[in-house]
Amino acid sequence: MPTPRETILAALHARLSALPATALRGEVLPERVPTEGLLILRDGEPGEPEVTLSPLVYHYQHRAEIEAVVQGADRDAAFDTLIASIGAALAADRTLGGLCDWVEAEAPRPVDLAVEGAASLKAAVITVVLHYTTADPLA
């Protein structure tokens, strides 16, 4: 049986997989970026939990990361469209089907990356904060 943390991350990946861009989880950047864009979900850090006693529960603000990458001549517009679609997907259900208390994304800091012999990339890391509670830090 998967832990609540893994269940939440899998649900976030499933939500990203519904977007037109290719969504991977924990993979390295492939040699080619699909035309629609590429999203790579990184598990991130759960951080230090706040603890409530009686009953004992751990409240996490887990910081997962989404690497968003587009390539091509119209990469600024494609990047904007991709970022907006991520925001809309998260806003559609801020609890990921009741798996966590709240999901919120932080603003991306885009960078342009030159690629020798190919069109430049536009990329950003988007931190997604997953607020959830669990009865065991290893669960």
**Domain membership flag for residue 115:** yes
**Domain membership flag for residue 90:** yes
What is the rounded CA–CA span in Å between residue 11 and residue 80? 24
Residue 68: phi, psi to the nearest 5? -110, 125
**Domain membership flag for residue 15:** yes
**Domain membership flag for residue 63:** yes
CB of 103 within 8 A of CB of 90? Answer: yes
Cis peptide before 30 (omega within 30 of 0): no
Pairing of strands 118-134, 111-115: antiparallel
Q: For residue 75, with 0-12 CB atoms within 10 Å meaning exposed, 13-18 middle and 19 or more buried, which class applies? A: buried
**Domain membership flag for residue 110:** yes
**Domain membership flag for residue 139:** no
> Which residues form the domain of 105?
4-134
**pTM of the shown model:** 0.94
**Domain membership flag for residue 28:** yes
| Structure confidence by residue, pLDDT tens digits, 95-139 | 999 999 999 999 999 999 888 877 889 999 999 999 999 999 987
CA distances from 6 to 29, 107, 112 (A): 22, 24, 32
What's the number of domains the chain is made of?
Answer: 1
Q: What is the CATH number of the domain that holds 21?
A: 3.30.2000.10
| Structure confidence by residue, pLDDT tens digits, 51-107 | 999 899 999 999 999 999 999 889 999 999 999 999 999 999 999 999 999 999 999
**Domain membership flag for residue 31:** yes
Q: For residue 99, with 0-12 CB atoms within 10 Å meaning exposed, 13-18 middle and 19 or more buried, which class applies? A: middle
